[in-house]
Copies of this chain bind each other. A is one copy, B any other.
């Protein structure tokens, strides 16, 4: 697995059970996954030489993130390396323009969008906004600047600053209508090279200040027809795009149905609940899929599972907060990523399972809040 983040770290737990030797390519020996894996290669995922040395002897190469250049993946494929997902599929999680155009061609429901003409970006934007109204969401087709790739703009004036900066940085932009959604959902599916597919229940994802803070499985009160529609959509996209491994489809739920927001082809934050909440965790499922093994059962293990992300607070030492959290609720499951605490950084998550939705949410929230903030008066 290329990348040493928490997704590789949690994949190691599944690899241990399956008896699958997991190697990671990490940019640091102190990365989240590098701390818990025996076979760590230190290198740069943007270096083809490093990728080639890393891939040597591996049965399958997969990804903990989308940042490996597509041409390097193609070069590995030309070398005969089994890259899963492959460059052709992964491109749709790397380039938002390619994704939007392909999904539109496939008839998948998307927000309205336009690719800004680099020769006349503001003119394209202005005529788009005349049709959709403001606000408009600007997205970098790849990457971004200042660590950001998405900007909500209330007016042409706000958009101008983004457009000018993007042009200066050589960042391509597309504009999307601001979708008046009820809530955000996510569909997680797996597909193997053999073509087998498996879908998890549709979940609700709750964002706070642009960060996913909570995932509720299954999405409460979701109409069963709409849930099935979202599962079919994700399975269909996995098939059409030739995904091998996991595909996470972030969705907006509107009055009329669902719209695709983003794609990811790896274990996803919206699937962390599956570690305890499903018979097969997303990490095991990803390994089974990329290794072309039969996929695992996705049946939930409890009526409700709630996952809450733990964000870093002001206190760097959070281990001592375990005592309160574990004593308060012996059934909550704590996951720490071995990352240095920085305010607002995702450093772990907690999972609660139960029969009662509100109680289960409250348990997960309490644990995550306490781990972030400690005792509050």
Where the two chains meet, the residues of A that have a C-beta atom closer than 8 Å to any C-beta of B are: 9-10, 12-13, 15-19, 21, 34-38, 40, 275, 279-280, 288, 293-297, 299, 301-302, 319, 322-323, 326-327, 330-331, 333-338, 348, 353
User: With the chains together, A189 CA to B297 CA distance in Å?
Assistant: 31
User: With the chains together, A319 CA to B21 CA distance in Å?
Assistant: 12
- A interface: dominant SS: mixed
Distance from A35 Cβ to chain B, minimum over Cβ atoms (Å): 6
User: With the chains together, A40 CA to B322 CA distance in Å?
Assistant: 26
Chain B residues lying within 8 Å of A296, measured Cβ to Cβ, are 326, 330-331
User: With the chains together, A340 CA to B319 CA distance in Å?
Assistant: 37
Interface CB pairs A-B, < 8 A, 27: A13-B13, A13-B16, A15-B36, A17-B333, A17-B334, A18-B334, A18-B336, A19-B334, A19-B335, A19-B338, A19-B348, A36-B38, A37-B38, A38-B38, A279-B331, A280-B331, A288-B326, A293-B322, A293-B326, A294-B323, A294-B326, A294-B327, A294-B330, A295-B330, A296-B330, A297-B330, A297-B331
For A325, give the chain B residue with the smallest CB separation.
B294
User: With the chains together, A275 CA to B288 CA distance in Å?
Assistant: 19
User: With the chains together, A15 CA to B338 CA distance in Å?
Assistant: 10
Chain B residues lying within 8 Å of A288, measured Cβ to Cβ, are 326
User: With the chains together, A21 CA to B338 CA distance in Å?
Assistant: 8
A323 touches B13 (CB 8 A): no
Cβ-closest 5 pairs across A and B: A19-B336, A297-B331, A294-B327, A294-B326, A297-B330
B19 touches A319 (CB 8 A): yes
Chain B residues lying within 8 Å of A293, measured Cβ to Cβ, are 322-323, 326
A10 touches B18 (CB 8 A): no
B336 touches A17 (CB 8 A): yes
Give the number of times this chain occurs in the complex, counting copies: 2
Distance from A219 Cβ to chain B, minimum over Cβ atoms (Å): 22
User: With the chains together, A279 CA to B275 CA distance in Å?
Assistant: 12
User: With the chains together, A334 CA to B40 CA distance in Å?
Assistant: 25
For A327, give the chain B residue with the smallest CB separation.
B294
For A329, give the chain B residue with the smallest CB separation.
B297
8 Å CB contact of A36 from B16, B301, B336: B16
Distance from A372 Cβ to chain B, minimum over Cβ atoms (Å): 15
For A288, give the chain B residue with the smallest CB separation.
B326
Distance from A37 Cβ to chain B, minimum over Cβ atoms (Å): 6
Known contacts A280-B330, A293-B323, then 8 further A-B pairs from the complex at CB < 8 Å, ordered by chain A residue? A9-B16, A12-B36, A15-B36, A19-B334, A19-B335, A19-B336, A34-B38, A296-B326
Chain B residues lying within 8 Å of A37, measured Cβ to Cβ, are 36, 38
Chain B residues lying within 8 Å of A335, measured Cβ to Cβ, are 17, 19
User: With the chains together, A299 CA to B354 CA distance in Å?
Assistant: 12
Chain B residues lying within 8 Å of A301, measured Cβ to Cβ, are 301-302
For A292, give the chain B residue with the smallest CB separation.
B323
User: With the chains together, A167 CA to B267 CA distance in Å?
Assistant: 60
Chain B residues lying within 8 Å of A295, measured Cβ to Cβ, are 326, 330
Chain B residues lying within 8 Å of A348, measured Cβ to Cβ, are 19
Chain B residues lying within 8 Å of A279, measured Cβ to Cβ, are 331, 333, 353
Q: Which of A16, A21, A295 has the most CB of B within 10 A?
A: A16
For A284, give the chain B residue with the smallest CB separation.
B333
B337 touches A19 (CB 8 A): yes
User: With the chains together, A34 CA to B39 CA distance in Å?
Assistant: 10
Chain B residues lying within 8 Å of A299, measured Cβ to Cβ, are 331
Chain B residues lying within 8 Å of A294, measured Cβ to Cβ, are 323, 326-327, 330
